Amino acid sequence: MKIMINIILGSVIIGYFLGCINLSYIISKIKGFDIRHVGSGNAGASNLVIVVGKKIGLTVAVLDILKSYFAFRLAEHLFPSAVAGPINYAGVIAAVAAVFGHVFPFYMGFRGGKGLACYGGIVLAINYKLFVILFVAALLIAVITDYICFAPITMAFVVPLTVGIIYKTWIPPAIISLASVLLLFKHRQNIARIRSGEELRFHFLWRRKDESERFGVVDDGKEIFNRKV
């Protein structure tokens, strides 16, 4: 029992503090503003894409994925005997803790991002082929619905279910479900904004003028960053 507690605590600490490295927030502060006060108000890569640009935003998204991926690998290395079926559950705990660290970083008043990219890192660490398949599926969902938020909402259900079916084990999917619940909770406001017509559409990434006009902005879309949309 003591060993089990040490494994859990060690994995949580590893994952949480890696997850707390919020590059979206750090980059915005370097540039002289707080990412949480512009655009969607989210301290994540998706808002950085909107506010700063696609290149830097997508780069941060990749690094956010790698936070939970490396948390998984580090815990897996430190606790190699913590195995549930074919999956190292210490790694899963650390990766899930990284998602919580990203969403609730202590030095940001526990107001971080929404955790989608970090959530993807969990899948990448477990099975890179599954990650590619689900990434393509999530992208298709975003394109078809024209709203990014439908991708994480769908994946929150699909990922633990798929992992459980493929690996025929319940412990890792149960741990992943904790991050799934967090993901759903953090995206509840997006659904409310969709209903009120205030959510940015996915095509904003390449057709900014259309969305700017929809929000009554006549320039190239920069003023829209000052609205909580």
H or E segment to which residue 87 belongs: strand 87-88
The pTM score is 0.88
Is residue 89 over pLDDT 90? Answer: yes
Region of residue 53 (phi > 0: left; psi between -120 and 50: alpha; otherwise: beta) = left
Domain spans, the chain: 2-204
Span 93-118, pLDDT tens digits: 999 999 999 999 999 999 999 999 99
Predicted confidence at residue 129, as pLDDT, reads 97
Read off the pLDDT band of 217 (50, 70, 90). very low
Predicted confidence at residue 205, as pLDDT, reads 64
Predicted confidence at residue 28, as pLDDT, reads 93
Span 121-141, pLDDT tens digits: 999 999 999 999 999 999 999
Gap between the Cα atoms of 67 and 124, Å rounded: 11
Long-range contacts (CB closer than 8 Å, 24 or more residues apart) made by 197-201? 198/229, 199/147, 199/149, 199/229, 200/40, 200/50, 200/224, 200/229, 201/146, 201/147
Predicted confidence at residue 113, as pLDDT, reads 93
CA distances from 161 to 38, 83, 176, 204, 214 (A): 35, 19, 10, 31, 38
Predicted confidence at residue 208, as pLDDT, reads 60
Is residue 226 over pLDDT 70? Answer: no
Span 142-197, pLDDT tens digits: 999 988 889 999 999 999 999 999 999 999 999 999 999 999 999 988 888 888 87
Gap between the Cα atoms of 176 and 137, Å rounded: 19
Gap between the Cα atoms of 219 and 208, Å rounded: 10
What dihedral do alpha carbons 11, 187, 134, 78 form, nearest 10°?
Answer: 0
* SS3 (DSSP) at 83: strand
CB 48 within 8 A of CB 60: yes
Kindly tell me the number of DSSP H helices and DSSP E strands found in the chain: 11, 2
Gap between the Cα atoms of 54 and 62, Å rounded: 12
